[in-house]
A = this chain, B = another copy of it.
Amino acid sequence: MTLRAREALEGAELIVGYSTYVRLVQRDFPHKMYLATGMRGEVDRCRMALEHAAGGEQVAVVCSGDPGVYGMAGLLLELAPEYPGVTIEVIPGVSAANGGAAILGAPLMHDWCSISLSDLMTPWEVIERRLVAAAQADFCIALYNPSSKGRQDYLRRACDVLLKTRSPKTVCGCVRNVGREGEECRTLTLQELRDAQADMLTCVFVGNSQTVVVDGRMVTPRGYRLEGQ
């Protein structure tokens, strides 16, 4: 959490969020007012927040990671014109890609892209097109939402797309529970990743052609010339 985010929560009269994230915030701010909704209640949640703000309250909407990356910032700004007088400040955070990368080492040191494997709101054809492009242009890749109850084979399908262009030995990494209890990580090859289990709480990293494992850490060199190389 950033200093600015904590300051905003301290100043908020009402904190709105998905119930799981509200529980995490409540531990540090037990005496605030909260409004929580379940998954897929995103539009209602944002409208509630904006209505309270329009009524004059100082409202904080919480997400995990960065609200500007697969979070609530966009939806709030899209709905905002219906609530004139409400001012929205987006407070950036550490996205799961950045948080997970730090645990694995430094896999995103060079050009990289972020792809969500969730096809709830994006057709699979678009996702696949992005995987193909990322593989061909040798981007490091952070994969969000690698799996869920209804989509257990999506990570395997994504790996099969990547394996058409990228070496099966490409260095990959998985991090579970980024920044929370039970945090764990491991490195593996793209071929092994294809057959790995990853749940919704896992962030998956695929290195570029230069990515290596150094003392157990996943590292993508930026290209500095070191002695003897």
Chain A interface residues (CB < 8 Å from chain B): 1-3, 6, 42-43, 66-71, 73-75, 77-81, 90-95, 98-99, 101-103, 105-116, 121-122, 126-127, 129-130, 132-134, 136-139, 214-215, 217, 219-226
Contacts and interface: CB of A to CB of B under 8 A. Distances in A.
Given A77-B214, A102-B68, A106-B73, A111 B130 contact: yes
Nearest to A113: B113
A103 B8 CA distance: 16
Contacts of A112: 69, 113-114
Nearest to A130: B137
B79 A226 contact: yes
A105 B81 CA distance: 14
A69 B133 contact: no
A49 B33 CA distance: 45
Contacts of A94: 2, 66, 92-94, 98
17 contacts: A66-B98, A67-B102, A68-B108, A68-B109, A74-B219, A78-B214, A80-B215, A92-B98, A92-B101, A92-B102, A93-B94, A93-B98, A110-B122, A111-B130, A122-B223, A126-B138, A134-B137
A62 B33 CA distance: 37
Given A92-B101, A98-B95, A121-B224, A69 B139 contact: no
Contact of A90 (B68, B92, B102, B121): B102
A121 to B, nearest CB: 3
A105 B73 contact: yes
A214 B84 CA distance: 13
A204 to B, nearest CB: 14
A113 B114 contact: yes
Contacts of A6: 3
A132 B138 CA distance: 12
Contacts of A101: 68-69, 90, 92
A103 B116 CA distance: 23
